[in-house]
Chain A
């Protein structure tokens, strides 16, 4: 059977188009299954099935206790200081009880609780609304429970900010780089127009280090001879410190009625951890 030139070009053209379309379709399907990591993981890396944090506010006493923790995070992550609440970017910060747990406050609360600052950060929810609403998968949940940000994919639509019930997300309303006091070259700075938030220090976990805020809290506790206010660990491991604390203390989570399943737990009570 012979074919003429016209038929040949037709067949060649169609098969090229199908071929291109075919490979890109396979690419698209595969892309969702790929992990972001490009290299084999560091053997020292800290891993977990479900990372979680316990904030024991009774262990945080002075203004400095809070400042050390917040500064540690904002310093290593190049969080800019913009100096006004409108453009503010924050990954970890203080709120009073009535604002941290709206609806839970009442006028007969002890003075201690009424004025006690609570540390706020991304809750790394099990069922995160921000991930659900993001139109580009720029924010996604990792297998270990960390709700991550891909700041190169984020289009800056801020749907996640509307979706997050915890006000954990900040947007770069302008170029943040001139407002970074001392740049940490180990961690990327951001550009204008993208959303950012706490990532449970995924970059430190990958190197075998605990999150910067927890480390700062531990160091301060060691110096003062007390227990740290922040504890980090694997929620799925019954022997982990977070689990031991949660099984022996009354704990609360922010807005648990919304069903997002936050993995940041707050202990108000006070006794020393078991």
Chain B
């Protein structure tokens, strides 16, 4: 099937080369970081994780979110997701690869990465995170490729794939729970030391991921002949409505516990993020932007008329995605380090090289996504009818 990625329109090749150019720029700055050290980033002794680990955390969620399509389809036989289950799996692949790359670019001694396998340490959550992430990547490559291959041949997927589908469904939440445990078990980091972290991670993941799938479905429909189906997109709209409500509620629970108990250690990170602490306010505008985006998205999603309108649904999806990207990809990580262990405030802001390396990794992800989606849509265009006999091609 790979050969279908080699034949494409001008626009397709334009996008490929555009992404390659961004990757090139990111790579040059990564070389600088490789030779100089992580000192070229905005991270410091006090805020020792930054935007790299934030992106990793956010993208684990996006990867896990494939289950929001795969589960209703395989466990509840929700046929409308039949056409897009491969799209969801093919989003999980670049997401996990980006996660791994973000961990890699964050390492002080990247050439020693194999020490994690050479000296396996089961008491470290990082070790388990490596296991579940690599497992999830393999599962999605296997599933996406096999199922799409079967569709291309006009055959039902082979029966041996069934157990792997069920394993993948159970596996998806595990990658995000384990990632939440990276943070939720650390003594002394008040913002993270909370039992609801894993639940909040899942809620935000199952909002941000399907929001991105909606956007991707709309793009695919616009630029290819393949139609993911209006009902599928609408069903995803309902998913993000519920999960986004849960996500906002969970954040509210955290705020309640901190501010009703008035325990200083619990209030300080929230103070820093939303109003500023000791006069330091660098993150305040971003966090409010995230809140405004979240509320606007909910307003659009909760009104059925707006949700049913694909334009407003698209706007809401973009708002959900960026709101959570700020909240999880930035605020949550930095907020864990501010104030520091001495109740002092040291602020963090990414540097330009750091931002460009981050952009480069995203471009790697989008390149893989573009190629995988090109393959998937080409196959689907050729097949014409989906497995339930409905036409999946725009006339």
Listed in ascending order, the chain A residues whose CB lies under 8 Å from chain B are 31, 85-89, 95, 98-100, 102-103, 129, 132-138, 153-159, 161-167, 170-175, 191-195, 255, 258-260
Contact = CB atoms under 8 A, between A and B. Distances in A.
Interface string B292-322: 0000000000000000000000000000000
Contacts of A153: 112, 115, 119
A89 B46 CA distance: 11
A133 B123 CA distance: 7
Interface in B32-73: 36-39, 43-46, 48-49
A243 to B, nearest CB: 27
6 contacts: A85-B44, A155-B112, A163-B187, A167-B341, A171-B108, A194-B109
A30 to B, nearest CB: 13
Contact of A133 (B48, B124, B264, B346): B124
A148 B46 CA distance: 21
Contact of A165 (B37, B110, B188, B344): B188
Contact of A172 (B37, B125, B130, B336): B37
B186 A161 contact: no
B108 A154 contact: yes
Nearest to A31: B119
Interface in B3-55: 36-39, 43-46, 48-49
Contacts of B188: 129, 164-166, 255, 258
B121 A134 contact: yes
Given A153-B112, A194-B108, 16 more contacts: A85-B346, A87-B44, A99-B342, A102-B342, A129-B187, A133-B124, A136-B112, A136-B115, A136-B116, A136-B121, A138-B115, A154-B112, A155-B107, A155-B108, A155-B113, A165-B341
A174 B38 CA distance: 7
Contact of B124 (A159, A174, A175): A159
A124 B120 CA distance: 23
B345 to A, nearest CB: 11
A175 B41 CA distance: 14
Nearest to A159: B126
B37 to A, nearest CB: 4
A133 B110 CA distance: 18
B200 interface: no
> Top 8 nearest A-B pairs by Cβ distance?
A156-B108, A165-B188, A193-B108, A173-B39, A167-B341, A192-B37, A135-B126, A174-B39
Contacts of A194: 108-109
Contacts of A136: 112, 115-116, 118-119, 121
Contacts, number: 146
A14 B108 CA distance: 40
B109 A164 contact: no
Interface string B336-371: 110011111010000000000000000000000000
A156 B118 CA distance: 16
A100 B342 contact: yes
Chain A CB count within 10 A is highest, among B43, B118, B340, B342, for B342
Contacts of B346: 85-86
B38 A156 contact: yes
Interface in B99-147: 103, 106-110, 112-113, 115-116, 118-119, 121, 123-127, 130
B265 A133 contact: no
A87 B48 contact: no
Contacts of B189: 162, 165
A145 B346 CA distance: 32
Contact of B186 (A87, A138, A162): A162
Contacts of A170: 45
Given A153-B115, A156-B109, A158-B48, A193 B37 contact: yes
Given A138-B115, A260-B187, A162 B48 contact: yes
Contact of B45 (A88, A132, A134, A166): A88
Contacts of B124: 132-135, 159
A154 B113 CA distance: 9
Nearest to B265: A103
Nearest to B337: A162
A157 B106 contact: yes
B38 A171 contact: yes
A158 B121 contact: no
A138 B182 CA distance: 18
B45 A87 contact: yes
A255 B341 CA distance: 10
Given A136-B121, A258-B187, A161 B48 contact: yes
A156 B111 CA distance: 10
A136 B124 CA distance: 8
A135 B121 contact: yes
Contacts of A260: 187
Nearest to B123: A132
B134 to A, nearest CB: 14
A262 B96 CA distance: 38
Contact of B39 (A87, A98, A129): A87
Interface in B158-177: none
A99 B343 contact: yes
A165 B109 CA distance: 24
B45 to A, nearest CB: 5
A133 B343 CA distance: 23
A131 to B, nearest CB: 8
A102 B109 contact: no
Contacts of B127: 135
Contacts of B108: 154-158, 171-172, 192-195
Contact of A98 (B49, B121, B126, B343): B343
